[in-house]
């Protein structure tokens, strides 16, 4: 289905055309009608599937720009996602006179209060900052809100926002539409659904394949001491437009950026300890493709859309399936191709085997392929002794290296040339 087939305002259609939007994604096809018809909605879809637009376009369509009031409230877990929402809705609504605005922590409340005195139709907020406004000011009036959106609802629960959400919901005592969007649906969401959603339309796509299908999963089995050199070699030989390199902690990221700054010029480091203005600046420069490599903690692994990212690299192995999905979902978005590269050491092979089984990943290996059939998985990590299949080294250095693909459940293997470096 195309956007031109929908009965949208001409101003919105023109904006979508200018943005290069033509065809609806599956999540957009299934959610547009229920949203526009005022139904409550519970939607689960793969990361990168177009959930932001699936929410933003119908909201702009339903807003009455002549009414100077907040008519839609969008709750998100992070400042960065709030800013991304506003940026996306601004593009959609630029000709429709619909005004979005975001409030979040780490930024002056006085400045945000001044903006709220002007016309705001769609308010995007992190739960904590919204409650600050509701408790301490009269700047935010929710009495005209007709649609409430919880995006990344699963992440908000994980971050401990459940009581904040309950309080905010209690402030919306009038009739309104409630929309839940999430990449995963943990059991904790059930209570919220039963309490706050009325006969919701349920949309669930790719239940068994939550990672983007346009994403190719690469892996390299390496030792801890060899991992840095393996990363540098990989970054130099790959055709990379932009890459996000994930570490599990600020400390690891700090050590890594010091090593990589000597090898690459266009590189930055983003983490939760930076001031908000600095974080925002780095993200915006990255979006404008002014930065090639961004070393990051998991602050960049949830919900953010960077259109130029060709590679996501897990330098540190992710802490769990959800983290892997969220990180690798920063590429291969909206049907675009992407590569996720993960470095794996001995202690992570047990978790890797579980990842393959749970998420139906078809791995492509660089170098040696570990024998995952003979791994006994212990809680948290593998057992530390893992045989692997050795492949003969090439006799000459000018031979094109290969990527090997294996299915550990079947034991078959095949090879194809690596992408040549630029």
Give the number of domains in the chain: 2
Q: Is residue 33 part of a domain?
A: yes
Q: Is residue 422 part of a domain?
A: no
Taking only the tens place, the pLDDT of each residue in 113-149 is 999 988 899 999 999 999 999 999 999 999 999 999 9
Q: State CA 397 to chain mean position distance.
A: 39
Residue stretches of the chain with pLDDT short of 70: 45-49, 206-214, 300-305, 307, 332-336, 359, 376-422
- CA atoms of 20 and 336, how far apart (whole Å): 13
Determine phi and psi for 312, rounding to 5 degrees: -115, 130
Supply 166's token pair.
Answer: 């309950």
CB-count burial class (<10 Å; 0-12, 13-18, 19+) for 148: buried
**Parent domain of 74:** 3-204
Pairing assessment for the beta strands 41-44 and 177-182 based on DSSP bridges: parallel
The pLDDT assigned to 420 comes to 33
Q: Is residue 246 part of a domain?
A: yes
Pair (126, 157) in one structural domain: yes
Pair (219, 199) in one structural domain: no
CA angle 405, 409, 411 (to 5 degrees): 55
| DSSP letter assigned to residue 10 | H
Taking only the tens place, the pLDDT of each residue in 235-275 is 999 999 999 999 999 999 999 999 999 899 899 999 888 88
Answer for the pair 1, 23: CB distance below 8 angstroms, yes or no. Answer: yes
pTM for the model: 0.64
Pair (241, 190) in one structural domain: no
Supply 297's token pair.
Answer: 């903690």
Supply 231's token pair.
Answer: 């990363």
CATH of the domain at 76: 3.40.50.300
Pair (176, 230) in one structural domain: no
Give the SS3 label for residue 104. coil
Pair (175, 233) in one structural domain: no
Q: Which of 204, 234, 258 is the last residue of a domain?
A: 204
């Amino acid at each position: 289905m195309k956007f031109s087939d929908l009965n949208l305002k001409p101003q919105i259609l023109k904006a979508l055309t200018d943005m290069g939007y033509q065809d609806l994604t599956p999540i957009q096809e299934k959610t547009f009608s229920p949203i526009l018809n005022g139904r409550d909605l519970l939607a689960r879809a793969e990361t990168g599937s177009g959930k932001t637009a699936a929410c933003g376009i119908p909201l702009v369509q339903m807003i009455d720009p002549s009414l100077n009031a907040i008519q839609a409230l969008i709750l998100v877990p992070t400042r960065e996602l709030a800013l991304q929402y506003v940026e996306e809705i601004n593009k959609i609504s630029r000709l429709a006179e619909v005004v979005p605005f975001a409030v979040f922590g780490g930024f002056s409340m006085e400045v945000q209060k001044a903006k709220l005195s002007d016309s705001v139709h769609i308010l995007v907020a992190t739960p904590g900052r919204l409650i600050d406004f509701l408790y301490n000011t009269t700047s935010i009036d929710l009495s005209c809100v007709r649609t409430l959106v919880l995006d990344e609802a699963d992440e908000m629960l994980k971050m401990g926002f459940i009581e904040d959400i309950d309080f905010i919901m209690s402030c919306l005592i009038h009739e309104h539409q409630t929309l839940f969007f999430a990449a995963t649906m943990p059991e904790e969401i059930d209570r919220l659904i039963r309490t706050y959603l009325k006969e919701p339309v349920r949309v669930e796509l790719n239940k068994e394949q939550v990672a983007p299908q346009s994403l190719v999963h690469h892996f390299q089995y390496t030792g801890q001491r060899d991992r840095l050199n393996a990363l540098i070699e990989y970054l130099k030989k790959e055709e990379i437009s932009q890459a996000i390199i994930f570490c599990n902690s600020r400390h690891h990221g700090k050590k890594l950026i010091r090593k990589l700054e000597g090898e690459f010029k266009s590189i930055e480091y983003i983490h939760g300890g930076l001031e908000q203005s600095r974080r925002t600046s780095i993200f915006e420069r990255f979006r404008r493709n002014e930065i090639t490599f961004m070393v990051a903690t998991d602050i960049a692994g949830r919900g953010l859309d960077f259109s130029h990212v060709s590679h996501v690299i897990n330098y540190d192995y992710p802490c769990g399936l959800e983290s892997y999905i969220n990180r690798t979902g920063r590429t291969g978005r909206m049907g675009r191709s992407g590569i996720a590269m993960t470095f794996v050491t001995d202690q992570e092979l047990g978790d890797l085997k579980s990842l393959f089984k749970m998420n139906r990943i078809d791995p492509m290996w660089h170098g040696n392929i570990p024998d995952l059939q003979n791994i006994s998985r212990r809680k948290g990590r593998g057992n530390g002794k893992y045989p692997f299949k050795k492949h003969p080294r090439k006799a000459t250095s000018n031979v094109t290296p290969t990527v090997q693909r294996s299915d550990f459940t079947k034991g078959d293997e095949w090879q194809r040339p690596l992408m040549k470096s630029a």
